[in-house]
Amino acid sequence: MARSIWLRQERAGRGPVPEHSRAEITAAAVALADEGGLAAVSMRKVAAAVGTGAASLYRYVENRDELVELMADAVVGEVDLDRPPAVDWLADLVELAHAMRAVYRRHPWMLDVVPGRGLGPNAIDVMERALGAMSGLDVPAATKMETFALLNATILLLVRAEGAVPDPTGEYARGHLEFLASVAAAGRHPHLAAALADPTPPPDPGQDLLDRVLPRVLTGLLDTNGRTG
């Protein structure tokens, strides 16, 4: 297995000057994903978009998974980090979360990227910003890292839940609600039935879900241990 893409030189230094760059190939792939979803990103299509041969792509990336890794990090690079710190750590993290969510919403295919290969340079920049927001808290570094991970997971969950991956026909979603209702009606799930029948609106229905849920997650993680110091 090759070394991490982030550790490898892009250019060897000998031989002809490459006609393209990782950034160029990544951008073409991102454009394809934005248009047709992650599955639309094939090596042949990316190569055609760049104006090269599919086999040439393997000079730039090890495999398709690596290309997807480049794409994900490139997109995270769109997160707007040029903001002055907010009034406190919580507000700062929530603002960062909004900036991150904006990016995921612009690139819904990101929800289809299986996490797992570590962080690229842009993701590390975002994490640095989050760590900076938490720098005044007297909690272990491990807790801060966990908090960042959960912040990201929460955003993904909420973007996913709001249907940022659109169902073209809406039929499946309706079918699912139909299924839930039939399960509830069958009588073996009284709590589900109660939940579906609950007329109570969510607290602050006009409030952004991210603004409601994320602060609770974060204060749960940090506040009981968090000491501004």
Binding interface with its own copies (CB under 8 A): 1, 3-4, 6-7, 111-112, 114-119, 121, 124-125, 127-128, 131-132, 135, 140-146, 149-150, 153-154, 156-157, 160-161, 165, 169, 171-173, 175-176, 178-180, 182-183, 188-189, 191-192, 194-196, 198, 200-203, 213, 216-221, 223-225
Question: Rounded to the nearest whole angstrom, what is the least distance from the CB of residue 165 to DNA in the complex?
Answer: 17
> Does residue 15 touch DNA according to CB under 7 A?
yes
What does the alpha-carbon distance between residue 64 and residue 21 come to, in Å, rounded to a whole number? 16
> Does residue 8 touch DNA according to CB under 7 A?
no
> Does residue 53 touch DNA according to CB under 7 A?
yes
> Does residue 113 touch DNA according to CB under 7 A?
no
Q: In terms of CB distance, is 10 or 208 closer to DNA?
A: 10
- Residue 64 amino acid letter: R
Q: In terms of CB distance, is 28 or 94 closer to DNA?
A: 28
CB 108 within 8 A of CB 167: no
Q: In terms of CB distance, is 49 or 150 closer to DNA?
A: 49
Interacting residue with DNA among 6, 18, 34, 217 (CB under 7 A): 18
Question: Rounded to the nearest whole angstrom, what is the least distance from the CB of residue 33 to DNA in the complex?
Answer: 11
